[in-house]
Amino acid sequence: MKTLTVTVSENGQQIAQFEIASESNVADIWKAIEPLRTDKAVPVPIKVGRKYSRLAQAFSQLTDTDTQLSFTQIEDWLGERLPSSAREHRAWWANDPSHAQARAWMTPGWRSQDVDLASETLRFRRHQE
């Protein structure tokens, strides 16, 4: 069996990745994903896990295009305290869809930026397609 891994990136950020396993040869697999290679591709939603579903719901209800939030506000949305790594490592806030928390803001169309660990604030901007 052959496996083709497809990674979708935008502005240098990985936004999706999937694998296609097939008994077919590579040319047949490539033909099967032809719709993904055109401007007619339909994005597949990224699943948000239960732990961060409340956060995703809160982001989906925002109407602004830019918002600054405190870690405390995000904890209020979550209904629980952020893990210590969120306060210690800027990477926790990266726009990386392989991280469950990032899918919570990326799926409804937001991207994190301007993380300030000292003041426990960061900005989110609605992503323009």
CB 95 within 8 A of CB 106: yes
CB atoms within 10 A of CB 78: 17
Indicate the pLDDT class of residue 97, thresholds 50, 70 and 90.
confident
CA-to-CA distance for 129 and 125, rounded, in angstroms? 12
DSSP type of residue 33: T
Q: Which two tokens stand for residue 112?
A: 């994190």
Note the pTM of the prediction, 2 decimals.
0.63
**For 4-44, what is each residue's pLDDT tens digit?**
666 766 666 667 666 666 666 666 666 666 666 555 545 54
